[in-house]
Amino acid sequence: MSQALSSLSKSTYSKKATQLRLLLINARKSANFTQTELSKRLNKPQSYVSKYERGERRLDVIEFLEVSNALNIDPIALIEELINLE
């Protein structure tokens, strides 16, 4: 595996990736949504939410914006919070 691919796959388990997943989980729970309820708002299967929350799947920028919208949260505020975490 090339070093670029190796670095990419490892980023799924980086500290910041874990922090982002936790922020998204907390946002979902704060919105009082189950994974199933959120997945319905996204028109995706429940496994979609489960996989990105467990770190088995990464969200691209567009997907992140769709999740933020479905949760009624400001994506920029969430990114700023992520940046400010240690």
Number of structural domains found in the chain? 1
Banded model confidence at residue 82, pLDDT cuts 50, 70, 90: very high
Q: Report residue 49 as tokens.
A: 């939410």
Each residue of 11-65: pLDDT tens digit? Answer: 667 899 999 999 999 999 999 999 999 999 999 999 999 999 999 999 999 999 9
Q: Which domain holds residue 35?
A: 3-84
CATH number at residue 67: 1.10.260.40
Q: Could you give the maximum distance between any two Cα atoms of the chain, in Å?
A: 42
pLDDT at residue 13, as a whole number: 75
- CB-CB neighbours of 40 under 10 Å: 15
What are residue 12's phi and psi, to 5 degrees?
Answer: -60, -30
